[in-house]
Amino acid sequence: MSGTDHADAAAGPVHRASPTDHLANERTFLAWVRTAITIMAFGFVVAKFGLLLRELSGGTVGTAAPAPLSEATGVLLVLAGAAVLLLGFARFRTARQELEAGEYRVHTALEWALTLTMVAIGVGLAIYLVTTG
């Protein structure tokens, strides 16, 4: 056994990415895309709900006070969905490069960021519903 063979054996076997690894990465990215679309669609509905409140109240500002908050919340949700899409794409590219290099590592920052953001939005929406209900 030569010196280089021994060094390779000590480092462990190099895992070459298979097509199924790449397809799993692609499916994960598509799940992030669906999540982003859902968040953006929900933001659109929230923003337009404020418009509906304004129309139902006859267009008077005094009775439709929650509308600007609904619009701002909706816009923030649409932007959050766009951010999720960008972060999901960045994660997809990183995973692809790691798979090709045989050095895939588990990363959880994106999952934590999305979870904490959605919890904050959920709490904010709950407070909004309680205070305007």
Distance CA 40, CA 42 (A): 5
- The C-alpha torsion from 71 through 72 and 75 to 81, rounded to 10°, is -120
* Placement of tokens 């799940």 in the chain: 31
- pLDDT of res. 39: 93
Q: What percent of the chain has pLDDT over 90?
A: 41
Q: Record the tokens describing residue 56, joined without a space.
A: 């139902």
pTM of the model: 0.71
Encode pLDDT of 6-31 as tens digits.
Answer: 444 445 556 678 999 999 999 999 99
pLDDT tops 50 at residue 97: yes
Which of 11-25, 27-41, 98-112, 116-130 is most confident?
27-41
- pLDDT of res. 98: 94
Encode pLDDT of 48-77 as tens digits.
Answer: 877 776 676 665 555 544 567 788 888 989
Kindly report the average pLDDT of the chain as a whole number: 81
Angle between the 66-101 and 19-56 helix axes, to the nearest 10 degrees? 180
CA distances from 83 to 34, 70, 77, 105, 120 (A): 13, 20, 10, 23, 15
